[in-house]
């Protein structure tokens, strides 16, 4: 299931559910997570000009939303650990292949080249296992919401409940403000 949470409610914490995003299970760990927007589709055309223009433009356009305490369950923590371990082991193939291939001449180059693939897979795996990417949430292009395209139904329900609660509180706060600011009240009442 997918759900989008208003960025302001992610930042102030009122829209963050009490269950994790992937499994909808009880929270055992809170972590600060920064959600960023994906580069817009057209920006990939800039890679033709060069990687640097692509990096510059996408970092200028990038919208960030910081959550101070994002929920993770025991399964999330387990997934994080496993991906980190396997990721780092695969990444270790590269320095290992350099050490082995260093004195092997041309064959050594092949050894190092072959180790590049597990290194890239390991890097991607460790990256996906990071607490930043585990919730699989992305800020919208205009920065107004954070979307979770692969959220657990339990998370979606809890997020909707948190949103309704936050909206209710906001309405109550707004009503109180309006009452205070009303020109027909306080100043002339005594
Ligand atoms: Zn989880």
CA of 7 to the centre of ligand 1 (A): 21
R_g over Cα of the chain: 24
CA distances in angstroms from 168 to 5, 12, 87, 151, listed in the order given: 16, 15, 44, 24
- CB–CB of 135/22 below 8 Å? yes
The three-point CA angle 128-131-137 to 5° equals 75
Q: How far is the CA of 47 from the centre of ligand 1 (A)?
A: 36
What is the distance in A from the centroid of ligand 1 to the CA of 122?
22
| Angle (nearest 5°) at CA 88 between 78 and 35 | 60
Of the pLDDT bands very low, low, confident and very high (cuts 50, 70, 90), residue 184 is low
For residue 120, what pLDDT is reported?
A: 95
To the nearest whole percent, how much of the chain has pLDDT over 90? 71
- Give me ligand 1 centre to Cα 27, in Å: 8
CB 12 within 8 A of CB 69: no
Q: Are 149 and 136 a contacting pair, CB within 8 Å?
A: yes
How many Å lie between the centroid of ligand 1 and the Cα of residue 77? 7
Residue-wise pLDDT for 130-151, tens only, equals 999 999 999 999 999 999 999 9
pLDDT in tens, 9-20: 999 999 999 999
Q: Measuring CA to CA, which residue among 26, 137, 125 is closest to residue 80?
A: 125
pLDDT digits (tens, 9 = 90+) for 96-139: 998 888 888 888 888 888 899 999 999 999 999 999 999 999 99
Asked if 76 and 130 count as a contact pair (C-beta separation under 8 A), the reply is: no
């Amino acid at each position: 299931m997918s759900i989008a949470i208003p960025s302001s409610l992610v930042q102030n914490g009122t829209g963050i559910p009490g269950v994790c995003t992937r499994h909808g299970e009880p929270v055992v760990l809170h972590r600060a997570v920064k959600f960023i927007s994906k580069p817009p589709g057209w920006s990939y055309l800039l890679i033709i000009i060069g990687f640097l223009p692509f990096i510059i433009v996408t970092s200028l356009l990038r919208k960030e939303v910081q959550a101070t305490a994002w929920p993770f369950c025991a399964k999330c923590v387990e997934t994080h650990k496993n991906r980190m371990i396997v990721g780092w082991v695969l990444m270790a193939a590269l320095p290992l292949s350099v050490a082995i291939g260093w004195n092997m001449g041309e064959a050594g180059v092949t050894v190092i080249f072959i180790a590049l693939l597990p290194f890239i897979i390991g890097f991607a795996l460790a990256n996906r296992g990071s607490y930043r990417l585990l919730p699989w949430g992305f800020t919208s292009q205009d920065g107004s919401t954070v979307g979770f395209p692969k959220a657990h139904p339990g998370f979606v329900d809890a997020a909707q409940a948190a949103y309704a609660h936050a909206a209710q509180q906001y309405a109550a706060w707004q009503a109180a403000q309006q009452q205070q600011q009303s020109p027909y009240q306080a100043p002339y009442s005594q």
